[in-house]
A = this chain, B = another copy of it.
Amino acid sequence: MRFVYLGPEATFTEQALLTVAEAAAGERVPARSVPEALDAVRGGDADAALVPLENSIGGAVPITLDELIAGAPLMITREVVIPVEFVLGARAGTPLDAIRTVAAHPQASTQCRNWLRTHLPDAEVTDVLSNSAAAIAAAAGEFDAAICAPLGAARYELAVLADKIADHSHAVTRFALVTRPATPPAPTGDDLTSLALVIRHDQVGALLTVLTELSVRGINLTRIESRPTGEALGRYVFFLDCAGHVAETRFGEALQGLRRVCADVRFLGSYPRHRWAPDLDHPVPAPAGLSDESFAASAAWVDRLRHGDY
């Protein structure tokens, strides 16, 4: 199998991909951007793409959200969550008080904002396209220092002036493994389903209606993000992660409801939750009356009513 990932090499995305057994044993190809990675899957040049979805500090990765809803449908088959740890790297012999310019990926500088404000308040921070690009630019002398992964500093022979510089020591990044549409992986009892939907903006309480379709079936929302549709201020696509799997009857019924009340719904996949830390919330089983068996029994009852069989 051929896997493409958001490059360059030696960033957190490659590190995350190596945790996927089939990818560690398969072919791994870096892409220059999220659109390039996803287009490789859409066009059949790769079987799957690993792209960043969100970070616990920096928030959503807008380009990934935007690209998942533009063009041919894709499907998330797996999530990967890994801890993120940043260092400040510089060429050997550079003291911290000589740092005037720092190269950093925007998500990295966001996560190290307080450290930068305290230790390098006068340094100019320039956005670059990746943590590796920051390390490479510092190694080449274009900047005095770089915020990068420990792996990146080692790879490009930078001295580590400070380690664990992220403001929150427990930051994680969440990635999605994306394929062309297919039957989703089988339910495990601890699954997530991702959706993108456009509400009917002309209807008061349209978002409330969406949340009610989920709530009435006991489906928990674990994430909601909005992205502009580009039409006008106030017109959004909502990205929802819900606990549950499309194969469950209650989830199928909720999806039917969303299809009826929304202007548009795109299914982005049902996949096992990555239990990356021992203290994650435990999966919530279907509340009483919302199991597949309850749905089957209640459907049979209504059918009997319609035939005088009660």
Contact = CB atoms under 8 A, between A and B. Distances in A.
A126 interface: yes
A57 B230 CA distance: 5
- Could you say which of A55, A220, A223, A230 has the most chain B C-beta atoms within 10 Å of its C-beta? A230
A226 B225 contact: yes
B81 A106 contact: no
A297 to B, nearest CB: 24
A233 B106 contact: no
Contacts of A211: 205, 207-208, 211
A172 interface: yes
A48 B180 CA distance: 50
A221 interface: yes
Contact of A224 (B221, B226, B232): B226
A249 interface: no
Contact of A230 (B56, B215, B236): B56
A184 interface: no
Contacts of A170: 232
A6 B230 CA distance: 24
Given A126-B128, A126-B129, A228-B58, A223 B212 contact: no
Contacts of A215: 204-205, 208
Contacts of A284: 204
Interface in A145-173: 167-168, 170-172
A227 interface: yes
Nearest to A225: B226
Contact of A59 (B35, B62, B221, B224): B62
A223 B230 contact: no
Contacts of A222: 234
Given A56-B235, A81-B233, 4 more contacts: A55-B228, A56-B228, A167-B230, A225-B226
19 contacts: A35-B117, A56-B231, A56-B233, A57-B228, A58-B62, A59-B227, A63-B110, A126-B127, A126-B129, A127-B127, A168-B230, A171-B230, A172-B233, A204-B220, A205-B215, A207-B221, A207-B224, A223-B233, A224-B226
Interface of A: 35, 54-59, 62-63, 81, 106, 110, 117, 125-129, 167-168, 170-172, 174, 204-205, 207-208, 211-212, 215, 218, 220-228, 230-236, 284
